[in-house]
Amino acid sequence: MQDRSLSRRIVLASATVVAAGAAGVVGVTATPAVAHKRDRRLRRIISGMSIEAKIGQLFVPYFYGTSATSPSQFDQDRNLRELGVRTVAELIAKYHIGGVIYFSGWANNIQGPRQIADLTNGVQRASLALPTPVPSLISIDQEHGANVRIGSGATQLPGAMALGAGRSLSDARTAGRISGTELAALGIHQNFAPVADVNVNPANPIINVRSFGADAREVGRMVAAQVAGYQQAGVVACAKHFPGHGDTAEDSHTGLPVITHTREEWDRIDAPPFRAAIAAGVDSIMTAHLQVPALDPSNEPATLSPTILQGVLRDELGFDGVIVTDALNMRGVRTKYGDDRVPVLALKAGADQLLFPPDIDVAYKGVLAAVRSGEITEDRLEESVLRILRVKDKVGLLSGSPFVSPKEVDRVVGARRHQLAAARIAGRTTTLLVNEDEALPLRRGQKKLLVVGASPAFPTDGTRTTVPELAKAFDELGYSTTHLATGRTPDTVKIDEAVAAAQGRDAVVVTTDNVGTTSTQRTLVTRLLATGVPLVHLAVRNPYDIAHLGGIPASLVSYCWTEVELHAAARVIAGRVDPRGKLPVPIQRADDPAEVLFPAGHGLSYDH
């Protein structure tokens, strides 16, 4: 990555260090003279662009396939049906696209590090073939934890709430730097992370463990640390979802949530992490598709609200970086306007990058018509293009080769030093909630284990699931383990099978995933307790599960079910690592939410 190193030297040589307040991290910003000189150079690039090319720089669409030029027939057919082109190279050429986003699973963009590198190089070749050749800013949602796109081959790191439980700014920064270093080696220079939402609503269906916690100041500290880590690695961090998605029980993918906080509550609960991100030098911020009447009484979705984006984010908070819309295919932003008008209104509100339009042709033509009619001035259009080019320049895309080296990918992505660091960080996040009569760690004689319970598939690998992986982790520690996955909704047959499997075991480790009041996971736990076999409970996602379970002698939280977090939990249960995690959210009683069962900051250890 010679070009990336060169770009970092250029940026650092022309920068001043700015303190990031209480976060204890530093950001890097160009001096006014250097910034003026840079902008003059970037404006010369813009002056050579057609209106069509300028509009194309704003869009960040999805596409199907693992190759830029030769996807499978299945992917090609989907591209034709939804995008009107066969390949992402054709998409870039047709719409002068300035950036794309990679997805695993449904989009089939990701198979492994070498393939991603080849795809990236193909995308950049297509971008450099445009009449005004400007490399693409390639994006991804690699939050880690529950929201991961690149799995096999890349280092898996604890997610936000796990890092919040670890309470270590150094670990949060290191995790961001490791993730950013691996993304940059793959030619991915914009990561839509970290999540800056404060999860004060346990029923939040979309943020939850993606948040660092429920305390605005602590979330802000962790957000600032992650921003520093990503951007030290040469990746554009993106704090999301402004103005705050933490206090809602509705998912903006499927509806238009309303945040009922007063202005004072917003200033106290939602704003601090975004202020911290801006102080840390964050290069981009993503909008939320939700209404905040206290900020904008018109009840426009924040993504389309000039009052929120221009008035609050830019004018009050002082952010002059790139504003990215959340995905424009989400229901929350499509409730009032057509898909041709949504991107126009987002730009008029103050957004710069238009992410994931549901119909790229309709969206592109909608913006083009608005510019030609004068509804959006060319000066306004160029403001956004300039901001986008600034971040492309900052990460070295305009000052060196945008292509990536397969050798560098092999050396960096999934490096052993990164894996070891991830394991150490994860070991400091597992949280012990209950330990009656010192049930943990397991005693020497407790060698025969049953691992049973909910077994969600790994976020990026549906062939690997929680219960077998946790059993494998115990086997590697010298236990004799059997396992049985009963799922999130175990029926009577599965529960009976689990009870029978517990007979003759020295201990049972039962996993739960998002337990609710009517969940049959509660019945499973009750029946296992009745066997008299020592029981250890591990919530593999939400820390709130324990509020629905009674009589548990030992209970822990891993905050996610990826390999690194499951193996860390196994080491804690076995006593190889002392639990150090502290709850980053309070847990209320299920039958009386006004009463706190475990306060934020609660977490037991073995050494007392």
Q: Give the C-alpha separation, 606 to 608, whole Å.
A: 6
Instruction: Give φ, ψ of 340 to 5 degrees.
Output: -80, -25
Report which of 92, 99, 103, 98 is spatially closest to residue 68, judged by C-alpha positions.
Answer: 92
List CB contacts of 162: < 8 A, sequence separation 6 or more.
145, 209, 426, 429, 558, 559, 560, 565, 581
DSSP 8-state assignment for residue 353: B
- In 289-355, the DSSP E strands lie at 322-324, 354-355
Q: Which two tokens stand for residue 574?
A: 């076995």
- In 370-520, the DSSP E strands lie at 431-435, 448-453, 457-458, 461-465, 480-485, 507-512
Residue in 326, 352, 393, 545 annotated catalytic: 326
Q: Give the C-alpha separation, 511 to 516, whole Å.
A: 14
15-19 and 26-30 strand pairing: antiparallel
Long-range contacts of 9-18 (CB under 8 A, 24+ apart): 10/396, 10/399, 11/394, 18/281
Long-range contacts of 420-423 (CB under 8 A, 24+ apart): 421/174, 421/178, 422/155, 422/156, 422/157, 422/158, 422/175, 422/178, 422/564, 423/564, 423/567, 423/568
Q: Which two tokens stand for residue 463?
A: 């062939």
Sign for the pseudo-dihedral over CA of 273, 274, 280, 285? positive
CB 216 within 8 A of CB 262: no
Residue in 253, 361, 461, 578 annotated catalytic: 253
Q: Is 189 a catalytic residue?
A: no
Peptide bond connecting 301 to the previous residue in cis, omega within 30 degrees of 0: no
Long-range contacts of 257-264 (CB under 8 A, 24+ apart): 257/289, 257/290, 257/291, 257/332, 258/290, 258/291, 258/292, 258/293, 258/299, 259/290, 259/291, 259/292, 259/294, 260/293, 261/292, 261/294, 262/294, 263/294, 263/295
Give the number of residues written for the chain.
608
DSSP 8-state assignment for residue 577: S
CB 380 within 8 A of CB 359: no
Q: Give the C-alpha separation, 345 to 466, whole Å.
A: 43
CB 302 within 8 A of CB 286: no
478 C-beta neighbours (distance < 10 Å), count: 9
499: buried, middle or exposed (CB in 10 Å: 19+, 13-18, 0-12)? middle
Q: Is 326 a catalytic residue?
A: yes
Q: Which helix (H) or strand (E) holds 101?
A: strand 101-102
Residues designated as active site: 253, 326
